[in-house]
Structure 1
Amino acid sequence: MIRIEIPGFGNLELQHLVCDYNGTLALDGQLQPGIAEQLSRLASQLAIHVITADTFGQARAELAGLPVSLHITPLENQAQTKLEFVQKLGAAVTAAIGNGRNDCRMLDAAALGIALIQREGGAATTVAAADVVCSSIHDAIALLHNPKRLIATLRS
């Protein structure tokens, strides 16, 4: 669990991290360099879930051996499926990271929503729904490793 008190934003007691795969953890289906190590380290504090339609069909192989649960979903109704997944875990104890239009609703519902604008880009609706926007998955995960960065960004 990660506990963070953010003045003017609220207290976070995070138990889960839900990540999109393509455009977030991976580029063109391949896990970005260094992400496996960062996820392994973070898994000691949070249950990590990866939810994806697996556009490139490589998520299972790329995530093999990592302490994450993989959820491959149908192409239809992705935004709703991701939202319902976060709600089932408990939105109040979940952080979510994503970049695509289908990530918008899960980021909005999660206690902490982090939008990414990386090489695949970031959907404007998803960026608007997020609490924080980062330019790399490495920076997004580092926020969870270093909660004072979140406090500096989100306090009012």
Structure 2
Amino acid sequence: MISLDIPGHRSIEINNVVFDFNGTIAEDGILIKDIEDKIKKLSYKDVHIFIITSDTYGSAMKQCEGLPAEVNVFNEEDVSEYKGKIIEKIGCNSTVAIGNGRNDFEMFKKSILAIDVIGKEGCFAKGLSEADIVVNNIFDAIDLLLKPDRIRATLRT
């Protein structure tokens, strides 16, 4: 668990981290170089890691083999709504959502902390309105969780 006491804001206990796949931890269906090591380091923080995707390229399961994460691949019509329901199921008040796309919007709204990743694919501009923090790349997003004082510094009032 990652515990944060954010001065003038709120206390947060993070038990779950949910990643989008394409555009967030993968580019064109392939895991971003060195992301596996970062995700493994994050797992040492005693958080449950989930990767949820509609898997545009059909590669998520193979690419995520060996990661300390539960991978959910789905073919729902309303992907955003489905991702939001996953956040509800595992716990809105203890889940961080990390993504970049339009279909991450609902999980951003439902999570205790939402991190929007710009990355090479860019990000859904309206997602910025639901994100708590916006970063340039996935490594910066994971480093926020590995070094939570960075979150504290960004969100304090």
The bucket for the TM-score relative to the shorter chain is: over 0.9
- What is residue 64 of structure 1 aligned with on the other side? 65
Distance 1:89 1:155 in 2: 26
- What is residue 31 of structure 1 aligned with on the other side? 31
Task: Report the Cα offset of residue 44 of structure 1.
Answer: 2.0
Identity %: 40
Distance 2:149 2:85 in 1: 30
- What is residue 132 of structure 1 aligned with on the other side? 133
Number of aligned positions between the proteins = 156
Distance 2:125 2:83 in 1: 18
- What is residue 40 of structure 2 aligned with on the other side? 40
Q: Secondary structure at the match of 1:12?
A: strand
- What is residue 146 of structure 1 aligned with on the other side? 147
Distance 2:8 2:27 in 1: 35
- What is residue 118 of structure 1 aligned with on the other side? 119
Q: Secondary structure at the match of 1:150?
A: helix
Give TM-score scaled by structure 1 length.
0.98
Q: Please, which runs of 5 or more residues in structure 1 have no aligned partner?
A: none
Q: Please, which runs of 5 or more residues in structure 2 have no aligned partner?
A: none
- What is residue 14 of structure 1 aligned with on the other side? 14
Task: Report the Cα offset of residue 25 of structure 1.
Answer: 0.3
Which residues in structure 2 correspond to 1:70-81 (within 5 Å)? Answer: 70-81=71-82
2:101 corresponds to 1:100: yes
Task: Report the Cα offset of residue 108 of structure 1.
Answer: 1.7
Which deviates more from structure 2 when the two are superposed, residues 138-147 or residues 39-48? 39-48
Give TM-score scaled by structure 2 length.
0.97
Q: Secondary structure at the match of 1:95?
A: strand
Superposed structure 1 runs of 4+ greater than 6 Å apart: none
Task: Report the Cα offset of residue 13 of structure 1.
Answer: 0.3
Distance 1:68 1:44 in 2: 12
Give the aligned residue type for 1:72: V
Distance 2:8 2:119 in 1: 29
Distance 1:60 1:30 in 2: 11
Task: Report the Cα offset of residue 75 of structure 1.
Answer: 4.2
Task: Report the Cα offset of residue 107 of structure 1.
Answer: 1.0
Are the counterparts in 1 of residues 76 and 82 from structure 2 also a CA contact under 8 Å?
A: no
Q: Secondary structure at the match of 1:64?
A: coil
